[in-house]
Amino acid sequence: MAKSTTAKKHASPHDASGAFKPSRLSRLTPSWLTQRWSRWISKRLPPQKQVTLSHKGIFILPSGFGLFWLGLIVLLYLFGTNYQNNLVIGLSLLLASVFHTCIIYSYKNLAGLTFKAVTPPHAYADDSMPFPIMLTGHTRQDNPDTTHQQICLQFSHQRHARVKRMQEQTIATVVFEHTKRGRLNPGRIKVSSYFPLGLCRAWSYVDLDIHHVIFAKPEVCDIKLASHISDNDTQYEHGKLHPGVDDYKGLRSYIPGESLKQVAWKQWAQDKGMLTKEFAEPEGLPVWLTLANTSGNNIEHKLSKLAWQVDKLSQSQQIFGLILDEHIINQQTGEAHRVACQTAIGTYHLPANMNPDFSPSHVTNSSVGEPL
């Protein structure tokens, strides 16, 4: 059974403004070495929809505390041999065996851990984008917890999130901040752990081939629509829905006395109860949202206004279409239509020869509630 948990955020190298500050090691590493390492990782651990960690992709090195531990072992051994003290020599060998055991347990803590991306929620530009990741591990025989503990996950140059204790299936939320409008590929997830004693750092890279569309940031504005009708006709009700028989709208509870022809018998056979099919048809002429008729300081400002209008019209269940230059989305309503329009706006790129005064020949300007 999956357990949904939001992985806890911990301190990370960010300044007061939230911008990521590279570590000292990252700043000292030559760029050519970083690029070569990235290419090697991409070949060794290619993008996959589901990744299970194994010896091929797990790396282990001593941590800072581990290096101090090794130095102490060498110092004690030299001290013991110099003074012929078997007790000190035995202590150094004991510390060395503890370090060796930590290497094994560091590997076992990540080995067999399976990662799979879950469909993320819709997000707008400049918001933090949460990516749910399904982690599946091996459970113990005597309790539902797994042997995997203290797992840290983070995208490159982003804050990390930690899962302290896992069950057989756990959903961890890894956040990608400072998103921009358009298609987002957050890249590889760095998985790391200092378990059990912090002497060794085990890590790996997981690329789940995640691609997501970030919508344009909405900005409140007047809703400006365009239609085929003349300017002197009212447009308060254009695109509204009223009961009809044309388009299927959805299901609702059956009211005694209604026609049995409207009953959803398929759902009734599935023991979902008596439900009635609802149909609707548009009232008035179809209306459009167009980029050419949207005012703004620049293209991003215009797209932000369009994004807000799409959400507002969808909330009121109004039928509308969207025209982005030569990209046209026909009139419709509903959540799927809203997502399609927001996706088109979010992935829109300004052509080099765009004319801001462009307008289809059959379209006239108007405003909801106030004709222009």
Q: Is the confidence at residue 237, as pLDDT, over 50?
A: no
CB 338 within 8 A of CB 310: yes
Q: What is the pLDDT of residues 264-307, one digit of tens each?
A: 777 777 777 777 776 655 555 567 888 888 888 888 999 999 99
Give me the sign of the Cα torsion angle 34, 38, 44, 49: positive
The CA-based diameter of the chain, rounded to the nearest angstrom, is 106
At residue 363 the predicted structure's pLDDT band, cuts being 50, 70 and 90, is: very low
Angle between helix 335-346 and helix 299-315 axes, rounded to 10 deg: 180
Buried b (16+ CB within 10 A) or exposed e, 115-153: bbbeebebbbbeeebbbbbbbbbebeeeeeebbbebbbb
Q: Is the pLDDT of residue 10 over 50?
A: no
CA–chain centroid gap for 327, Å, is 26
**Burial group, residue 22, by CB count within 10 angstroms (0-12, 13-18, 19+):** exposed
Q: Which of 348, 310, 347 is nearest to 332 (CA)?
A: 310
Answer whether residue 93 shows pLDDT above 90: yes
Quote the CA–CA distance of 109 and 196 in Å, as a whole number.
8
Angle at alpha carbon of residue 155, lines to 151 and 161, rounded to 5°: 35
Burial of 97 (0-12, 13-18, 19+ CB in 10 A): exposed
| DSSP labels, 71-127 | HHHHHHHHHHHHHT-HHHHHHHHHHHHHHHHHHHHHHHHHTT-EEEEPPPPPEETTS
* Predicted pLDDT at 372: 29
pLDDT for residue 40: 85
Which tokens sit at 124? Answer: 């707008």
Q: What share of the chain has pLDDT > 90, as a percent?
A: 25
Confidence of residue 8 (pLDDT cuts 50, 70, 90): very low
- Bridge partners of 51, per DSSP, are 115
- Predicted TM-score of the model (pTM): 0.67
pLDDT at 31 over 90: no
Q: Give the integer Cα–Cα distance in Å for 114 and 135.
A: 6
- Higher pLDDT among residues 317 and 365, named by residue: 317
Write the pLDDT tens digit of every residue in 141-157.
665 556 788 899 999 88
* Residue type for position 314: S
Percent share of the chain, pLDDT over 70: 72
User: Which is nearest to 354 in space by CA: 324, 316, 319, 322?
Assistant: 324
